[in-house]
Amino acid sequence: MGAWGFGNLENDTVLDWVVDLLETEDLSLITESIAMVLEDDYLDADTAAIAIGAIEILAALQNRPGKEEFDDKLNEWIKEHKEKGTNLLVTAQKALEKILLESELKDLWEETEEYENWVKTIKELEERTLL
């Protein structure tokens, strides 16, 4: 799975995605990453993990950061785009619901002892994306 913890950015796939995000000037990559969850019938683990990372950053943009530690470059990107993306919050909620109900990522976490912690982390993210 490439994860070393149940945090929303504790995953190799998500950190690779963050590198791409830092090269963007807008929220298009965040928008696309969240939308892919709702467009795909089969929700693979990487798509779900990237969407969770995107939603974590979206929450930070709304001044609702979680416990995730961001590096200096990501903190700067967030600062430059602060308070943008409010229009994505409803879609983000739907994406998180789908990930928790029917995703390969959920199935993989269910096979671990950290499943309940992962669910709690996702539910906490859901609360931070409420309008």
**Residue 116: inside a domain, yes or no?**
yes
Q: How far apart are CA 81 and CA 83, in angstroms?
A: 7
More confident site: 68 or 119: 119
pLDDT level of residue 1 (50, 70, 90 thresholds): very low
**Residue 6: inside a domain, yes or no?**
no
Q: Please give the share of the chain, as a percent, with pLDDT higher than 90.
A: 85
**DSSP letters along 12-52, please?**
HHHHHHHHHHTT-SSSHHHHHHHHHHHH-SS--HHHHHHHH
Tens of pLDDT, residue by residue over 86-110, are: 999 999 999 999 999 999 999 999 9
Q: Is the pLDDT of residue 19 over 60?
A: yes
**Residue 54: inside a domain, yes or no?**
yes
| Cα dihedral 68/96/33/55 (nearest 10) | -30
Q: With contact defined as beta carbons under 8 Å apart, do 46 and 106 qualify? A: no
**Residue 118: inside a domain, yes or no?**
yes
Q: What is the domain count for the chain? A: 1
**Residue 52: inside a domain, yes or no?**
yes
Q: What is the pTM of this model?
A: 0.93
The boundaries of the domain holding residue 123 are 12-128
**Residue 5: inside a domain, yes or no?**
no
**Residue 3: inside a domain, yes or no?**
no
**Residue 2: inside a domain, yes or no?**
no
